[in-house]
Structures are given as C-alpha cells and as structure tokens.
Chains A and B, each alone.
Chain A
Amino acid sequence: MIRRFLLVALALLACAACVSASLPTGLPYPVTTVTLPAPGDETPPATGVPVATSAGNRLQVVSTTLDPPVLARGDVGTLTVEVANAGLSPLRPSRATLLSSGPVTVEDDPYPTVGEIGAGNRMAFTFTVKAGGPDGVAFPVFSLPVPGEHGLRVPVPVRVDSTAPAVSYVERPDVFSPGLAETVVLAIGNPRQTAIDGVMVTPRGTGFSATPSSSFIGGLPANARATAPFNLTIEQNATVAFELVWFNGHNRHVSTVDLPFVLGTSLREPDLILSNFEVERQPGGVFLLTGDITNAGLTPARSVVIAPGGASTPADPFPQYVVGSLEPDDFASFEVNFLAENQSSVPLVISYRDANGNPFESESRVALSQDQQKDTGSDSNNLPVIALALVLAAVIGYLIYRSWKR
C-alpha cells in the first residue's frame, strides 16, 4: 500500500514538471530560462543586488542589470531584473511592476500578466528607466505579487552621476600671432565610474582655422585620460569653443569648453641679433661681411639663413649663409659676399622658422664705411708685399745684370 502511494506521488510530480516545461514563451509572458543554482551555491549575481530571499518565500531575485551601469541626468537606461523560483512547485505571479523612486522614473508600464514560473526556472523582467536630478542612488522597487503566496518586493539600486568628462589644456601658447599656426593640446579625462564611448572633440567658432578639424578619441575607460592636439591659426581675437561629444550607453552628451585667444607678440619666440660685424672689400669690389648671430629668445630658431638684401647683389662664394638651428642663448658665426657699389649700408635679411614651421623674417643693417668702398684688400693690405716683390726684382735684376757684365 505504501509502495503504491509513493508511485502515485512520483507520477504526479512528473506530470507537474511536464506541464511547467510546456508553457508558452512568447510575450507578454517573461521568458523562463535555466535551473536554479544548487543549494549552498553562493555565487553572486552578475550585477546589482544579491539574491533576495525571505522566509517562506520561494521567489528570489537572482540578478539586476542596468545598462548603462551609471546614469547621468537625463539618461535613459534599461533595468533588467531576473527572478527565479526556488521552490518545488510552479508559481503564477499576477503582475510585475517597478515603482519610481526619487530622481529615477520608470518609463514603461507594469507587466500586466506574468504567467507561471516553473519550479527551478528563471524569468527576466526589463524596464526602461530615466534619470533625473539630483545625483545620487535611487531605489525603485521591483514588485512581483503572487496571489495566495508570498510575493516579491525588492528595492533595486540605480546610481545617477552627472559628472562630465574633464577637459584641460596641456599646451597652449601665451599669445597668438596673426596667421601663424600654434599648437593647442587638450587633455580629456574620464572621472566617471564607468567607461564612456564615442568621445570626440571639435573646435567651433569663427576667425580661426584648425587642423585637424576634429579629434576622435573613441572609448575612454573609467579614470583614463586622452589628449587631442590641434594646430590653430588665428586671424583675429577669437574665442574657440571646443565641443566635447561623448556617449553614456546610447545617451549622447555634449559639453563645451571656451578658450579665448588673444593676438599679440609671443614672449618666447626666437629673437635673432646680429653683431661683431667685420666688412672687407675684396678684389673685384666684392664685400666679405663676417659677424655673429645670437638667439636672444627663449625658443629655438630653425632653418636660419642670412642673406644680403636691398640693392646689394649676393656674390660667390657665400651669396647666403645657412646657419641651421640656433638654440636659445647660442650663437654662430656667419659670412656673406655681396656687391654694393656706392652704398653706405646694406641690409641683412634673416629668415628662420619656429618649431611649428612658421616662417619669420627680420632685417638688420650694416654700415659700409668710406674706406671699405675702396679695394683695400688689394691695395693697402698688400702694399708691403708688392713693395717687397719690386725690391727683390730690382736686386735680382741687378745681380743678373752684373753676372753678365763681368
């Protein structure tokens, strides 16, 4: 008799399991998924609150997932609550609801029907939530009542953090020169607790040109930093608005950082000074000008070239002199040759570039004295030599003459 009773009980349990497995899975019924964790399995849920149990209650919240994990003000996210039936018999909750709390509002209607959750099965409920203000942690309540049974009522934490990425200037000139490209480097940091995506910086405004026109950074993990360099050429006093676009989940955010640019003369640019001139007129009227060039500025001068200008005509062997790079407080010697008939002075044109390749040109005049208008090199300096040659010629001529007279 007892053996028969046990067989009937086992048959009833098997039938219950079959019915539970054959339930429809389409909407509006939540989907049943996998079996419950084994007894004693304390594996925490993927995200959100730990497994919620209550005495006498067979329903448990296995996990909660919010996408994106942290919402900013105005963001819309997706909250998924996964529930499991830990009992040995199926349950039929009447409805599933998520109640708004504080700054977080629920955008969806409650699940009007839920259907049956089989023993050991799971069911996921998805709600659309929207974050308002102020920042903080809200606890919308997930409710799953079961007629005649202990239902489920669990507060789900949702974090709202409106902190935007931080933008700062890593490098910028003290002043801008009209029409000259200067380098501006922005640093974009992510102080949020989660990663952001699609980060892009675009300079906006008028009166300037920028290269590149925008800088795409892409994903930026939490507490990470990226830089965005721009070459800006300013034509007039202007304020450049750097527009920062970033995504939190599928929520697009735009913030703007204004940077005023003032035109003026840089205090750090190269300052090339010519000195220690020596002018010598060589045969043929060619002047040889030697001197020193010193960089009295605070930044290096590149591609420094010195050439005679004005009405003078450059001449060989040094029609112009390439000094090359000149570091601050450094100097170099130079020499140039030119023709400058009947001129009291001659301009020397110094051309150079800064680190960004911007060309500069300056001019310095060198006086030519009256003495230098003559061929001093061939007449005055060599007079003793010519006299010596004449004397020797006379002496040798006399000795030769005498040797033939004897």
Chain B
Amino acid sequence: MNGSSGEPVSEARASFVDLVVNPRAFFEALDPKPVNLLFPGLIVLVTGVIGAVTAYQMSAVLMDAMALPGIEGLGGVVGAVGAIGALITTLLAWVIYTAVFFVVSMAFRGSGEFNRLLSYVGYGHVPQVIGGIVSTVLTWNFVSNLRIPTLTDPEAVQEWSATLTQDPTMQAATIISLLFMLWSANIWIFGVRQARNLSTRDAAITVLVPVLIYLLASVVPMLVT
C-alpha cells in the first residue's frame, strides 16, 4: 500500500470523524481490513433517500398545484416516481463514479480490486448526506413560500419551471450541493489513492477530472440561463 505522508492512524481510529477531518488516515487504517460494502452501501442509501425526499416534495407539490388537464390528483404518483428515480440514480451514480475512477486510474497503472474502490467511493458520500439534508431544508423552504400560478398549458408550465432555476434560493441550493460534491471529491482522492495504489497527484487527477467535468456541466446551464 501507499505510504502515508501524515500522522499514522491505527485501525481503531478509523472512525467517521477521521473520514471527515483526516480522510487519508481513515483509508490507511481501513486498508488492511477486508472489503466491507455494508457501511458504504448504507451511506449511499441514506444519500439516495434524502434525495428521494427532496424529489418527492418538489414533484408532488408542483404537480398538485398545476391544473394540467388529465393529471389532476396525480401529484402523489408523480412524486413517488420522482423519489424512486432519485434513489435509483444515486445508487447508479455510486457505481458509475467508481467505474469512472477505476478506468481513469488504469491510465496511471493503478492496481486494486473494484470492490474496494467501490467501498471507498461509498464512504466518500458522507458529505453528500449532510449536503442532502441542507438541500432538503432549503428546497422545502422554497417550495413552501412559492406562489404557484394556475397553469393549464404545458408550455407555460415548462416556462415557469425554467424560471424556478433562476431563483436565488435554488441557485444557492445548487451551489451548496456543489460545495459538498467538492468535499466528497476530496475524500475520494484519498480513497482512490489507497484503493488503487496511486500517488496523491495521480489520484487527484483521477478524481478531479471527471468531477470537474460534472461540476461544469451542472454550473454552466445555470449561468447561461
């Protein structure tokens, strides 16, 4: 395994506090242990559930308020579909992130099993749990104070929905989500470094390139509109 440049951490100290304040030591302490996907999976699941709650409240409230012909009273159904979609998307994103990091790290001759990398990327979702809670509160506050017009034209609904993304509250919620994404990326750097036996520089490139592409893809549309 890669040598640590910071203070050594024992296995007993591989706590979530270390994951937050000293992820390098956390993964070094975790490295000798066999791969365990239970806790990472739970973390990702919690992230997905929080995202599902946010998606439900947005979808259900908005759909109930809109008077589009043929979908009256379907707010709950649409909300449930949105929630399930958000949960599945989060779980898939976990695997996709890991696969992307795994493939990119191969360019740096990285070695290490996929499941271990999957486990470490799952641990890296801890900041997004916190970020998800903050986003849920902000979104709920936004939706509660939203004055929803009575719209019967699908085009008008589309135009009005586009204006929501321009609201400062929603823009702040997006920026906050990106901040937590950056925090996760920071943890992923140390996780990839440990799981794929890479140098810190190579691990940073492996993680930051796809993450920055993702962040740019999220921020640019917001700035354009």
Q: Which residues in A have some Cβ–Cβ distance to B below 8 Å?
A: 283, 288, 290, 316-318, 333, 335, 377-378, 381-382, 385-386, 388-389, 392-393, 396, 399-400, 402-403, 406
Contacts and interface: CB of A to CB of B under 8 A. Distances in A.
Nearest to B182: A396
A403 B22 contact: yes
Given A335-B149, A400-B182, A388 B21 contact: no
Nearest to B22: A406
B172 A406 contact: no
Given A283-B168, A403-B21, A318 B176 contact: no
B24 interface: yes
A406 B180 CA distance: 21
Contacts of A389: 172, 175-176, 179
A378 B168 contact: yes
A388 B176 contact: yes
A353 B113 CA distance: 76
B190 A317 contact: no
22 contacts: A290-B147, A316-B159, A333-B150, A378-B168, A385-B138, A385-B173, A388-B138, A389-B172, A389-B175, A389-B179, A392-B134, A396-B180, A396-B182, A399-B20, A399-B183, A400-B182, A400-B186, A403-B22, A403-B24, A403-B186, A403-B190, A406-B7
Nearest to A288: B147
Nearest to B175: A389
Interface in B11-31: 20-25
A399 B21 CA distance: 6
Sort A-B residue pairs by CB-CB distance and give the 3 closest, nearest first: A406-B6, A382-B168, A385-B172
Interface string B72-99: 0000000000000000000000000000
Contacts of B175: 389
B146 to A, nearest CB: 12
Interface of B: 6-7, 20-25, 127, 134, 138, 147, 149-150, 156, 159-160, 163, 166, 168-169, 172-173, 175-176, 179-180, 182-183, 186-187, 190
Contact of B24 (A283, A377, A406): A406
B202 to A, nearest CB: 16
Nearest to A382: B168
Given A317-B159, A377-B168, 17 more contacts: A283-B166, A283-B168, A335-B149, A378-B168, A381-B168, A382-B168, A382-B169, A385-B168, A389-B175, A396-B127, A396-B183, A399-B20, A400-B182, A400-B183, A403-B190, A406-B22, A406-B24
Contacts of A290: 147
B28 to A, nearest CB: 11
A402 B22 contact: yes
Interface of B is mostly: helix
A381 B180 CA distance: 23
Given A283-B166, A317-B160, A386 B172 contact: yes
A195 B77 CA distance: 70
A378 B23 CA distance: 37
Nearest to B130: A392
Contacts of A403: 21-24, 186-187, 190
Best-surrounded residue of B21, B172, B173 (most CB of chain A within 10 A):
B172
Contacts of A333: 150
A317 B22 CA distance: 49
A51 B150 CA distance: 84
A201 B20 CA distance: 95
Residue of A317, A335, A378 with most partner-chain B CB within 10 A: A317
A406 B25 contact: yes
A23 B83 CA distance: 113
Contacts of A388: 134, 138, 172, 176
A172 B102 CA distance: 86
Contacts of B23: 403
Contacts of B24: 403, 406
Nearest to A321: B149
A402 B24 CA distance: 11
A389 B137 CA distance: 13
B143 to A, nearest CB: 14
Contacts of A385: 138, 168-169, 172-173
Contacts of B160: 317
Given A290-B147, A385-B168, A406-B7, A393 B163 contact: no
Nearest to A284: B166
A392 B166 contact: no
Pick the most buried of B159, B173, B176: most chain A CB atoms within 10 A of its CB.
Answer: B176
Contact of A317 (B156, B173, B179): B156
Contacts of A377: 168
Contact of B176 (A317, A335, A392): A392
A290 B15 CA distance: 53
A318 B149 CA distance: 10
B217 to A, nearest CB: 20
Nearest to B19: A403
A252 to B, nearest CB: 59
Nearest to B6: A406
Nearest to A385: B172
A406 B138 CA distance: 34
A324 to B, nearest CB: 11
Nearest to A394: B179
Nearest to B7: A406
A372 to B, nearest CB: 15
A195 B160 CA distance: 67
B207 to A, nearest CB: 13
A381 B182 CA distance: 27
A317 B163 contact: yes
